A and B are shown apart, each in its own frame.
Chain A
């Protein structure tokens, strides 16, 4: 029998299926361009417009109250320190708890009912809107004045940010530890290590780079959050000068942007752009850093 077809085997661009294919490829390329466009636009506006308002004074001075001085709005110094302090408070709370929780999930109870419930719970917690975290902290810390009688405070702001960091850190620790091969655990037990020694000396160091990736990503997310801060830390125009100031209102870059963007004064709006320049630079650096660290680890996701 003769199976050779009379049709040509060369590519025929006028076939319906080839035209359809081309059209769909072009459409998907268009979609990809549209998806990348916002990033380019936002970043270039923030860098160009924000960067043009950056100078030494803007970085150091305290912001002026809106409307006082139409030409200058002062600077964003206290907001920068405030963001760092609250991010630090959030990290001090959420890193130990998150890494500990992750250790429990990965090392002690791999598929127990309780572990399943905790994994489910941390996924749900990750989905809780950030403003709800603010409302929650307002209800239990700010309105009850539980922190030595202070109401709005940097500490309350830091605690509300830690709620947002917790699920990410637990999840990445859990996943990072699961990537460490069981052979290493058996080897450690084989030479007589206790479980505590095994975890602290073998598995945690092996998973360190993946865990720090997660921690940095969580930190980057928390540092840019506004919603939980607007009624926990509120805003302050002044630098903190003593430890006691942690128990009072504290400014942050994100709340400064929110407050000053909606002011009718040009000078304040410019300060908002300057603040978003600093914030975006810090967050992009954290993100790129976390990607780089993620590629370093022995058992990181990208390598296995």
Chain B
């Protein structure tokens, strides 16, 4: 049972290791990477076109485990805090910046 997955992509292989049984069912949500403590899964970001990558390329990219690390899961919990709470601040600052642009007369500050 691969509980990290919402789609039915993985099967259990004979040696108990997961195998990619239905990669075409992958919905590109990246959540399996979070649950894989071995950092053995790489999800390509492309959702509407097929991409081929080799294991060597993925390992060389240094991206394996990136999502789990930056999410602060498992051994990374002390080094990468979950800062989701900052989101409301970002939206507020964007709103204030947009209001400021609207308040400035055109031609002086422009949109850049």
Does chain A bind chain B? no
Q: Which residues of A contact B (CB under 8 A)?
A: none
Q: Which residues of B contact A (CB under 8 A)?
A: none
